[in-house]
Amino acid sequence: MTRLLVIDDEPLILETIEMTFPNDEVVTCASAQQGIDVFLDCTPDVVLCDIRLPDMSGMEAFEKLHRIDAKVPIILMTGRGTAGTAIEAMQRGAFEYILKPLDPDTLIPLIEDAAETSRMTRVRAVVPDKSLDEVPTEGESDLLIGNCPAMQEVYRAIGRVARQNVTALILGESGTGKEVIARAIFQYSQRSAERFLAINCAAIPENLLESELFGHEKGSFTGAERKKVGKFELCNDGTLFLDEIGDMTPLMQTKVLRVLQDQTFERVGGTETISTNARLIAATNRKLEQAIADKDFRSDLYYRLNVYMIKLPPLRERGDDIELLANYFLKRFARELNKEITGFAAEAITLLNTYRWPGNVRELQSAVKHALLEASGPIIVPTFLPETVREGAPSKVVAAPATPAPGGIDFASLTRELLAEGSENIHRELINLAEKEIFAEVLKQTDGNLTQAAKRLGITRTTLRARLESLGMSLEKSASVT
Ligand SMILES: Nc1ncnc2c1ncn2[C@@H]1O[C@H](COP(=O)(O)OP(=O)(O)OP(=O)(O)O)[C@@H](O)[C@H]1O
């Protein structure tokens, strides 16, 4: 839910906006002073402010609001005659301007975009120190969870790069936390009081992306009814987050490369050369080196972006962090959903640890939420987890060896299959598979006696038990035998 503050003295406009956003909290004010008082009182997510107000000019009102909290996106509503003032306000930090009469098809995506920017700018992404017990209040901050060596390295990298004014490139599969890392870099940087804007390069068509990034002059193409200031210009002194950069078209790659090289560009249809010192943070889940080999991505752009690279590991490679994250989300959502659930059953943890998590942290987050909504007792047991996690084999290979050789598992073909699949966890997957076979056979020979089996294997009973658990192998039979 977005908290929207609307300042306008036209009752019809206030009513229209209330009706357009029935599921959001819309606070309306008929004068600039009243709007400023409410702003001070409730810190909205987004402000919509008319450029003509009874008690002061919209520009003055904008400047007062912006001075109070520069991180709240302010959108100015204007008639055609006052668009020039609105553009000037944008250059001073306003988020956008919109022409009256308001068209819901333009207004709704604009408010969504502003609310998302507001969230990214204002919700802190906090790199943990020692206090991992901390559960931030919803909306206040996102604590980055994870202790594994790869995540420790990520935190160190944020610390190293944030305060330097260089481009950062964040790589990682979908849902690994690239956006949170980008926000952390911004928030720990010297530009944290300046503008932070984000754009998803995969979500919009090339010509729109071009306008969004570089702006356009009025009349430069059909539909360009007014001049637009692009994000590179707006982010002068600020930070621009280009998400899914690997999906940019060749034309856009060339244009972005030029900005990185010369810090200049022209608006679409314009001749004026504009300078920008926007700091770029880029992210992608594509393997850029492969995209370069496939001639899909410019190598010179890659080298420009890759001044400092942060690689996020997939969740399945983060070891104990899976349990840590699951418990963190459990605490967080239990509080939000007002549920008294204290933890996970051991079997549920085993499932979480063995599942492959193709959607990474985002998928774990929704699995925990799902489990909380399903849960009826004080702890999460396997049946409350989503079916994909319960039944989704930890990995294709571990579930069903594709080509077992007559005498056992054909490791050479499995290795080839995993290589072709692009797996980056071949060692772990095959070792798990081998262990499963070995343990199953020894337990069969020792009638499920854990002590005997551990003795024959030459490992301790505790180690065997832990390995069986983490491989998702049943302990039922062996547990009854000591
Ligand atoms: N280490 C972490 N600790 C806590 N929450 C995390 C962590 N990493 C990611 N998240 C949460 O997981 C969700 C997905 O993260 P995010 O959107 O940053 O991923 P992404 O890599 O940008 O995904 P995509 O490539 O699909 O855009 C977010 O809600 C984020 O807050």
The 3-state secondary structure of 350-404, one letter per residue = HHHHHCCCCCHHHHHHHHHHHHHHHCCCCEECHHHCCHHHHHCCCCHHHHCCCCC
Residue with tokens 């856009």, as numbered in its chain: 252
Q: For strands 308-311 and 264-266, give the pairing.
A: unpaired
Last residue of a domain, one of 287, 312, 337: 312
Q: What is the CATH number of the domain that holds 107?
A: 3.40.50.2300
Same domain for 100 and 234, yes or no, is no
Report which ligand 1 atom has the smallest distance to the Cα of 284. Answer: 25
Same domain for 299 and 404, yes or no, is no
Q: Is 475 domain-assigned?
A: no
Nearest-Å Rg of the Cα atoms of the chain is 27
Digit-coded pLDDT (tens) for 207-264 = 889 999 999 988 877 777 778 889 999 998 899 999 999 999 999 999 999 999 999 9
Q: What is the CATH number of the domain that holds 224?
A: 3.40.50.300
Measured from the CB, is residue 93 less than 6 Å from ligand 1?
no
Q: Is 296 domain-assigned?
A: yes
Which residues of the chain are under the pLDDT cut of 50? 132, 393-406, 476-482
Same domain for 371 and 284, yes or no, is no
Q: Is 127 domain-assigned?
A: no
Helices (H) and strands (E) in the chain, counts: 22, 18
pLDDT of residue 21: 94
Measured from the CB, is residue 178 less than 6 Å from ligand 1?
yes
Q: Is 479 domain-assigned?
A: no
Q: Is 222 domain-assigned?
A: yes
Measured from the CB, is residue 179 less than 6 Å from ligand 1?
yes
180-213 burial string, b = 16+ CB within 10 Å, else e? bbbbbbbbbbebbebbbbbbbbeeeeeeebbbbb
Q: Is 267 domain-assigned?
A: yes
Same domain for 307 and 407, yes or no, is no
Measured from the CB, is residue 360 less than 6 Å from ligand 1?
no
Same domain for 160 and 232, yes or no, is yes
User: Distance between CA 136 and CA 143 in Å, rounded?
Assistant: 7
pLDDT of residue 429: 78
Same domain for 338 and 432, yes or no, is yes
Same domain for 189 and 153, yes or no, is yes
Last residue of a domain, one of 72, 103, 118: 118
Residue 381 sits in which domain range?
Answer: 317-470
Same domain for 92 and 42, yes or no, is yes
Q: What is the DSSP letter of 340?
A: -
Same domain for 74 and 198, yes or no, is no
pLDDT of residue 140: 65
Q: Please give the distance, rounded to the nearest whole angstrom, from the Cα atom of residue 181 to the centre of ligand 1.
A: 8
Q: Please give the distance, rounded to the nearest whole angstrom, from the Cα atom of residue 262 to the centre of ligand 1.
A: 32
What's the number of domains the chain is made of?
3
Q: Please give the distance, rounded to the nearest whole angstrom, from the Cα atom of residue 244 to the centre of ligand 1.
A: 14
Contact status, residue 35 vs residue 5, Cβ threshold 8 Å? yes
Give pTM, 2 decimals: 0.76
Last residue of a domain, one of 118, 135, 169: 118
Q: Is 440 domain-assigned?
A: yes
Q: What is the DSSP letter of 175?
A: T
Report which ligand 1 atom has the smallest distance to the Cα of 243. Answer: 27
**Residue 3, φ and ψ in degrees, nearest 5:** -95, 110
Same domain for 169 and 292, yes or no, is yes
Residue with tokens 């049943």, as numbered in its chain: 474
pLDDT of residue 402: 40
Closest-CA residue, ligand 1 atom 15, reads 177
Digit-coded pLDDT (tens) for 411-433 = 887 887 788 777 777 887 788 78
Q: Is 132 domain-assigned?
A: no
pLDDT of residue 397: 36
* Helix, strand, or coil (residue 229): strand
Q: What is the CATH number of the domain that holds 445?
A: 1.10.8.60
Same domain for 241 and 281, yes or no, is yes
Same domain for 113 and 202, yes or no, is no
Q: Which helix (H) or strand (E) holds 281?
A: strand 279-284
User: Distance between CA 389 and CA 393 in Å, rounded?
Assistant: 8
Contact status, residue 371 vs residue 385, Cβ threshold 8 Å? yes
Q: Please give the distance, rounded to the nearest whole angstrom, from the Cα atom of residue 72 to the centre of ligand 1.
A: 23
